[in-house]
Amino acid sequence: MSHTLENAIEKSIDIHAPLHTVYEEWTQFENYPRFMEGVREVQQVGEGRLHWRAIVEGVEREWDSAIVEQTPDTRIAWKSTNSAVEDGMVSFTTIYEGTRVTLQITFDPTALVGPIGGGDPRAALSRRVDAYLQGFKEFIEAEGIESGSGRGEVRTRQVVPERASDDQIDPSRVGQTPS
């Protein structure tokens, strides 16, 4: 499917917390039901693969997603299967008093579930994205600390663990000549 502006939603929210904390919390997928209304469960089923279960407009849905790019403290991109939301990306930017989170998604308009009682399915999805970001902001600002570690990079579905910085000293090599 071609990605056109009609099939995309982009939303941002500013969070009063350090970028690292915001990024770390976003990578704690099992916490999503705590701030994403309707999301019942997110399970990590392998390296960079997630299984979702949610109630969408009154209907229980399940789908899978795979992280295709992950750069710590910068961005996460994914592709989904069996979902109206086909792919997306979340990016993290330091701003004066915290972090700006920008969520971009593309969707299949023929697979969107409209709101109960009728209405525009795209508008309903846009409102849901707003609510997810607002819920995440409230969750982070109330918690204030990260609950786990989701660091590492993913490039074309291959996880690359975060490298130690060059300025860290290996205690077993103290007093040895560098090789």
pLDDT tens for residues 127-146? 989 999 999 999 999 865 54
Q: Is 54 left (phi over 0), alpha (psi -120 to 50) or beta?
A: beta
Closest CA to 18 of 99, 95, 92, 96: 99
Domains of the chain in sequence order: 5-28+68-155 (3.30.530.20)
Q: What is the pTM of this model?
A: 0.76
pLDDT tens-digit readout, 63-106: 999 999 999 999 999 999 988 888 999 999 999 989 999 999 99
State the pLDDT at residue 11: 97
Burial of 14 (C-beta count, 10 Å sphere; 0-12/13-18/19+):
middle
